[in-house]
């Protein structure tokens, strides 16, 4: 999703607080309103069974007009924030998967609130529900590689560093499972 059409200069993006404020104020309401939620949503798109054209999902988050707004607008900067996060997650999973961690909302130094992340992750699977089915439901080939993510939705308390590591491991396995399908995708 890298945008290199404008040269090598970095395009302006929003900091976390400004991005979340933009998303919460948007009408109609965006399904994603936190950086943790954005991370979960984008992660599902990145590791999923096929490439989903950003023109299909970015307008759901920022509004259809945001893709065409001038660079100095908040809407354009929100799109650039999404592009930067997409690229960060994709690079992390491709280049150093053993170091990747989901971006859960931090409660303190040791615990996390994962609700926005896992709900948004599941929303991100909606673009290719049929192809996600063997992973979501479990299958002879996939086993139950999504179990650590499912565990987040069943948890009654905050997640720990150990939970984040287990989810990260599951993400790498899911990405590997779907990589064969993505490699065969025709554009």
Look at residue 5 in the predicted model and tell me its pLDDT. 47
pTM, entire model: 0.91
Q: Are 121 and 171 in contact (CB under 8 A)?
A: no
What string of pLDDT tens digits covers the 187 residues of the chain?
655 444 556 788 999 999 999 999 998 889 999 999 999 999 999 999 999 999 999 999 998 898 899 999 999 999 999 999 999 999 999 999 999 999 999 999 999 999 999 999 999 999 999 999 999 988 888 889 999 999 998 999 999 999 999 999 999 999 999 998 888 877 6
Q: Which two tokens stand for residue 159?
A: 């997640």
Whether omega before 28 lies within 30 degrees of 0, making that bond cis, reads yes
Look at residue 186 in the predicted model and tell me its pLDDT. 77
Q: What is the separation, in whole angstroms, between the first and last Cα of the chain?
A: 14
CA distance 137 to 43: 18
Cα separations in angstroms, 106 against 20, 35, 46, 175:
15, 11, 23, 25
CA distance 185 to 64: 26
Count other C-beta atoms under 10 Å from residue 173's C-beta.
18
Q: Are 158 and 76 in contact (CB under 8 A)?
A: no
Look at residue 2 in the predicted model and tell me its pLDDT. 53
Strand order in the sheet with 111-113: 105-106, 111-113, 159-160
Q: At what angle do helices 54-62 and 35-47 cross, to 10 degrees?
A: 170
Helices (H) and strands (E) in the chain, counts: 8, 3
Q: Are 42 and 84 in contact (CB under 8 A)?
A: no
CA distance 175 to 100: 12
Look at residue 107 in the predicted model and tell me its pLDDT. 96
Q: Are 26 and 74 in contact (CB under 8 A)?
A: no
């Amino acid at each position: 999703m890298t945008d290199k059409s404008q040269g090598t200069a970095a395009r302006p993006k929003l900091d976390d607080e400004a991005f979340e404020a933009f998303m919460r104020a948007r009408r109609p309401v965006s399904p994603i309103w936190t950086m943790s939620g954005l991370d979960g949503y984008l992660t599902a798109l990145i590791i999923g069974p096929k490439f989903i054209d950003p023109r299909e999902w970015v307008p759901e988050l920022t509004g259809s007009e945001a893709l065409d707004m001038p660079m100095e607008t908040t809407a354009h900067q929100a799109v650039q924030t999404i592009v930067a996060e997409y690229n960060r997650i994709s690079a992390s999973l491709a280049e150093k998967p053993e170091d990747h961690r989901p971006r859960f909302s931090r409660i303190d130094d040791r615990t996390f609130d994962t609700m926005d992340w896992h709900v948004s992750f599941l929303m991100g699977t909606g673009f290719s529900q049929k192809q996600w089915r063997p992973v979501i439901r479990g299958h002879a080939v996939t086993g139950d590689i999504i179990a650590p993510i499912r565990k987040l939705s069943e948890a009654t308390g905050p997640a720990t560093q150990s939970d984040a590591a287990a989810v990260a491991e599951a993400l790498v396995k899911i990405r590997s499972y779907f990589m064969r399908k993505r490699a065969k995708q025709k554009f």
